[in-house]
């Protein structure tokens, strides 16, 4: 069995506040041993890689990924793509995610029904590079809900499948499971992107509709995620036991208390960059801060900041990344979220890295928790990245792919160790 021994590393284990010096042995696709500071591991039979004091940490996990989104300016842009080009675009985005250090992603709605599924299958077969991937359905939405772009005068396809009534939701959930989805997503709130039709404070779905999706998916051993800004939407997710709660912007104090009591069952992903960037960085595409205020995006940002700060204090697993793939949140810039969590929600750097690795991995593995992913510890799957510098001192290091000196997924290098950047600059080591 192939063995790789990383030596001279500063280890971020995933759950600890500090880095610690050490060595890590990978055997096959798992971490076999981690040396305590001052100890060494046997070299025999292993490829020894001296990382020169760089940080060795778990790969990043994106629990709210839209690999099928094309950096467009609207949901209509996405559906204007022919399926052939769309498959290739998704393939390139999957490689880009892994290039950026994301060794696992959770699909959070695909732009077309089988796009996530086919890319996941190709990655799993080893034919294209990409993270471990859970494939999602398109968004299931009600007539007039988020991502129903049609009007009576003109039918328009979108990134959703429109369903009304429990029978239609059940049917489409079964159809997506038949086609291979791991996760079924539904929209039980509006969004400022729906302006003026349906703001984020409104929940258009009935109890029976949500129940139909969740029961059908859970009965088949699949998971569910929900676009849920409204307080009522978040409570509905708790009543129906939805694994992945996206946004949760307007969750009240009482709802946060309720969620904290069952925090082991749920992951919250605010996807705050979509609100921040839309409010402050999208003027080039016609969305000035004034417009963002008018349509409600700025309010979603401000309420989201308050809510996530409270959830952090309540010990709820709030995770970074999400909703990258629009013009103002382009793929490959996802790791800016790490800074946002510190600046907006008051996370310590080690806490946001724990959320980006350990919590993301818990989300990926699911509630049965039998697989070990997301930590640098014996028995865990060898999804590892080597970073030039200390992320606890500077989280922006993760924004530059050139700082990733090595990327390993499932014990195999996606990017072989290339030597520290300083050495590259001096011409000492060559790629």
Which residues bind to Zn ion, rule: CB under 5 A? 108, 323
Minimum CB distance to Zn ion smaller for 4 or for 269: 269
Cβ proximity to Zn ion: between 193 and 417 the closer is: 193
Task: Please state the closest distance from residue 266 (CB atom) to Zn ion, in A.
Answer: 16
Q: Shortest Cβ distance from residue 323 to Zn ion (Å)?
A: 4
d(CA 51, CA 398): 17
State the nearest-atom distance from the C-beta of 53 to Zn ion, in Å: 38
Residue whose beta carbon is closest to Zn ion: 323
The per-residue DSSP string of 48-95 comes to EEE-TT-EEEEPEEEEEE-TT--SBSSHHHHHTS-HHHHHHHHHHHHH
Strand pairing class (30-34; 20-27): antiparallel
C-beta of 321 vs 417, nearer to Zn ion:
321
Cβ nearer to Zn ion, comparing 140 with 408: 140
- Cα separation, 133 vs 131, in Å, equals 6
State the minimum distance, in angstroms, from the CB of residue 274 to Zn ion: 7
Query: Is 228:237 a contact under the CB 8 Å cutoff?
Result: yes
- Nearest distance, CB of residue 51 and Zn ion, angstroms: 35
In the complex with Zn ion, which residue's Cβ is closer, 139 or 362?
139
The span from the CA of 312 to the CA of 304, in Å, is 12
CB of 289: closest distance to Zn ion in angstroms? 22
How many Cβ atoms from other residues are within 10 Å of residue 36's Cβ?
10
- Closer by beta carbon to Zn ion, 11 or else 100: 100
For residue 399, the minimal CB distance to Zn ion (Å) is 21
Closest CA to 341 of 361, 326, 321, 364: 321
Work out how close the CB of 52 gets to Zn ion at its nearest, in angstroms, rounded to a whole number. 38
The whole-angstrom separation of Cα 255 and Cα 153 is 40
- Residue closer to Zn ion by CB (options 323, 339) is 323
E strand spans, 158-282: 160-162, 183-187, 223-228, 244-247, 267-269
Q: How far is the CB of 322 from Zn ion (least distance, A)?
A: 6
User: Judged by CB, which is closer to Zn ion: 322, or 389?
Assistant: 322
What lies within 8 Å, CB to CB, of 121 at 6+ separation is 180
Cα distance between residue 423 and residue 408, in whole Å: 21
> Based on CB atoms, which residue is closest to Zn ion, 97 or 382?
97
Smallest gap from residue 248 Cβ to Zn ion (A): 12
Give the CA distances from residue 131 to residues 107, 226, 280, 407, in Å, rounded to whole numbers and listed in that order: 11, 22, 30, 11
Closest CA to 245 of 221, 222, 219, 265: 265
Exposure string of 367-389, with b = 16+ CB inside 10 Å and e = fewer, is eeeeeebbbbbeebbbbbbbbbb
E strand or H helix that includes residue 296: none
State how far Cα 13 lies from the chain centre.
20
Name the residue nearer to Zn ion (CB basis): 232 or 323: 323
């Amino acid at each position: 069995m192939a063995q790789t021994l990383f030596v001279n590393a500063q280890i971020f284990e995933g759950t600890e506040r500090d880095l610690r010096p050490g060595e890590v042995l990978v055997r096959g696709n798992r971490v076999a041993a981690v040396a305590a500071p001052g100890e060494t591991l046997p070299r025999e039979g292993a490829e020894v890689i001296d990382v020169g004091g760089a940080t060795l940490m778990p790969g990043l996990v994106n629990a709210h990924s839209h690999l099928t989104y094309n950096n467009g300016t609207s949901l209509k842009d996405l559906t204007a793509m022919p399926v052939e080009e769309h498959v290739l675009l998704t393939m390139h985005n999957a490689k880009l995610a892994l290039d950026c250090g994301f060794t696992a992603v959770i699909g959070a709605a695909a732009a077309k029904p089988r796009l996530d599924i086919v890319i996941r299958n190709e990655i799993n077969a080893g034919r294209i590079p990409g993270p471990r991937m859970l494939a999602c359905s398109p968004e299931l939405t009600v007539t007039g809900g988020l991502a129903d772009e049609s009007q009576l005068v003109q039918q328009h396809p979108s990134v959703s499948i429109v369903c009304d009534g429990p029978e239609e939701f059940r049917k489409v959930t079964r159809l997506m499971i038949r086609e291979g989805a791991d996760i079924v997503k539904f929209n039980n709130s509006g969004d400022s992107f729906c302006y003026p039709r349906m703001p984020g404070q409104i929940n258009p779905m009935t109890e029976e509709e949500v129940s139909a999706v969740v029961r059908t998916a859970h009965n088949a051993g699949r998971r569910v995620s929900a676009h849920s800004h409204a307080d009522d939407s978040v409570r509905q997710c708790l009543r129906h036991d939805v694994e992945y709660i996206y946004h949760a912007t307007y969750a009240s104090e009482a709802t946060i208390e309720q969620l904290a009591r069952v925090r082991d069952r749920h992951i919250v992903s605010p996807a705050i960059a979509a609100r921040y960037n839309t409010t402050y960085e999208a003027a080039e595409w016609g969305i000035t801060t004034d417009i963002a205020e008018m349509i409600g995006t700025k309010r979603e940002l401000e309420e989201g900041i308050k809510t996530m700060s409270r959830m952090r204090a309540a010990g709820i697993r709030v995770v970074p990344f999400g909703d990258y793939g629009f013009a103002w949140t382009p793929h490959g810039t996802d790791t800016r979220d790490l800074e946002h969590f510190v600046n907006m929600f008051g996370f310590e750097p080690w806490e946001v890295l724990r959320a980006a690795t350990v919590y993301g991995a818990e989300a990926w593995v699911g509630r049965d928790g039998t697989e070990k992913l997301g930590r640098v510890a014996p028995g865990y799957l060898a999804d590892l990245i080597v970073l030039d510098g200390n992320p606890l001192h500077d989280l922006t290091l993760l924004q530059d792919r050139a700082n990733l000196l090595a990327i390993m997924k499932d014990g195999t290098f996606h990017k072989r160790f290339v030597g520290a950047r300083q050495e590259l600059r001096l011409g000492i080591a060559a790629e």
